[in-house]
């Protein structure tokens, strides 16, 4: 068992929140923290164990604020206890989604209203300081971290920064909403009645185009689904200008994900195949950018 998981289990088991002795069980899937399932006094919980990660611009005060507001907005499970490096939430019994689940038309029609609720309703419940998440700044910051650490991708960073700058220009002016910014399929849970959205590590103010592009790229939506998504979200058929902005943001989403993995290869202690993930997302980015240039 990985050292990070062992340490997380020990920390979670010792929380004063519990009514009796508990035996935390690891939940697979965490890539910036360790997730554990705990049963206590007839109730089930998820414990997220993770410190601030400045290299990924993850600050746990921001995650707590977003997760608390998301529950108040009816989007995410209740946060019942927090302390430095720890967040305890109620466990949701349901199906953790895969990319194919998000592509399913019946489920996709439920994803979009949930996403609009994140953007427009959740901010009403936010209190205190919160972060922004501008993907082009993140890309630039990742490049700096990778160069400083002597990454095996160092020779490619200058070209990637130039591409990022051109994509930022192509996105153009934006609306500003509160975004989730990490719409991997596994962050959606279907309990059979409704969808829940979890994991607010990267939450912050951003363009709605990023969440839409991030959703589409991670779930690998087809062209017809992307057209439906944009038309439904904006209430009109996407014109040439919107398509260009969206496609540029989709490239940025994929590049940011790939560079997140490059950085994680160096800094993460989580047991995860980051090198393979980097290659996968660099390939996805290359295909999307080639299509964008056409």
Model confidence band, residue 2 (pLDDT cutoffs 50, 70, 90): low
pLDDT (tens digit, 9 = 90+) per residue, 50-104?
999 999 999 999 999 999 999 999 999 999 999 999 999 999 999 999 999 999 9
Residues 203, 179: Cα–Cα separation, whole Å: 6
CA distance from start to end of the chain: 47
Is 108 a residue whose pLDDT tops 80?
yes
Residues 121, 283: Cα–Cα separation, whole Å: 35
Predicted model pTM? 0.95
Radius of gyration (C-alpha) of the chain in whole angstroms? 19
Phi, psi of 44 (to 5 degrees): -115, 145
- Residue (of 263, 252, 241, 255) closest to 283 by Cα position: 255
Q: State the Cα torsion 291-202-260-274 to the nearest 10°.
A: -110
Residue 240 CB contacts under 8 Å (≥ 6 apart), including other chains: none
Q: What is the largest CA-CA distance in the chain?
A: 61
Q: Please, which residues bridge with residue 89 across strands?
A: 46, 79
Residues 197, 205: Cα–Cα separation, whole Å: 17
pLDDT (tens digit, 9 = 90+) per residue, 150-203?
999 999 999 999 999 999 999 999 999 999 999 999 999 999 999 999 999 999
- Residue (of 134, 158, 160, 151) closest to 281 by Cα position: 160
Pairing of strands 43-49, 86-90: antiparallel
In order of their start, the domains of the chain are 3-90 (3.30.200.20), 95-293 (3.90.1200.10)
- Residue (of 262, 254, 253) closest to 281 by Cα position: 254
Model confidence band, residue 270 (pLDDT cutoffs 50, 70, 90): confident
**Sheet with 95-96: strands ordered across:** 95-96, 188-190, 195-197
Q: Do residues 137 and 144 touch, judged by C-beta distance below 8 A?
A: no
How remote is the C-alpha of 7 from its chain's centroid? 24
Residues 55, 262: Cα–Cα separation, whole Å: 11
Q: What burial letters (b/e) apply to 199-215, b meaning 16+ CB within 10 Å?
A: bbbbbbbbbbbbbbbbb
């Amino acid at each position: 068992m990985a050292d990070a998981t062992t340490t997380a289990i020990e920390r979670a088991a010792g929380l004063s929140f519990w009514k009796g002795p508990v035996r935390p069980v690891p939940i697979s899937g965490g890539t910036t923290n360790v997730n554990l399932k705990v049963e206590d006094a007839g109730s089930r919980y998820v414990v997220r164990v993770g410190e601030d990660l400045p290299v990924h611009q993850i600050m746990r005060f921001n995650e707590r604020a977003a997760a608390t507001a998301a529950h108040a907005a009816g989007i995410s499970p209740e946060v019942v206890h927090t302390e430095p490096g720890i967040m305890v939430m109620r466990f949701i019994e349901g199906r953790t989604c895969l990319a194919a689940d998000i592509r399913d038309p019946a489920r996709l029609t439920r994803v979009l209203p949930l996403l609009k609720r994140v953007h427009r309703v959740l901010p009403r419940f936010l209190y205190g300081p919160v972060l922004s998440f501008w993907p082009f700044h993140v890309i630039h910051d990742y490049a700096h971290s990778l160069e400083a650490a002597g990454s095996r991708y160092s020779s490619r960073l200058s070209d990637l920064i130039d591409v990022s700058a051109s994509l930022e220009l192509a996105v153009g002016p934006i609306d500003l909403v509160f975004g989730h910014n990490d719409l991997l399929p596994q962050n959606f849970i279907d309990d059979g009645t409704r969808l829940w959205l979890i994991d607010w590590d990267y939450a912050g103010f951003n363009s709605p185009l990023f969440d839409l592009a991030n959703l589409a790229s991670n779930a690998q939506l087809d062209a017809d689904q992307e057209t439906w998504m944009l038309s439904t979200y904006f209430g009109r058929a996407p014109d040439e200008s919107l398509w260009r902005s969206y496609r540029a943001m989709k490239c940025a989403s994929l590049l940011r994900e790939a560079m997140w993995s490059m950085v994680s290869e160096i800094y993460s202690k989580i047991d995860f195949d980051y090198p393979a993930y980097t290659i996968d997302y660099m390939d996805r980015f290359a295909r999307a950018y080639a299509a964008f240039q056409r």
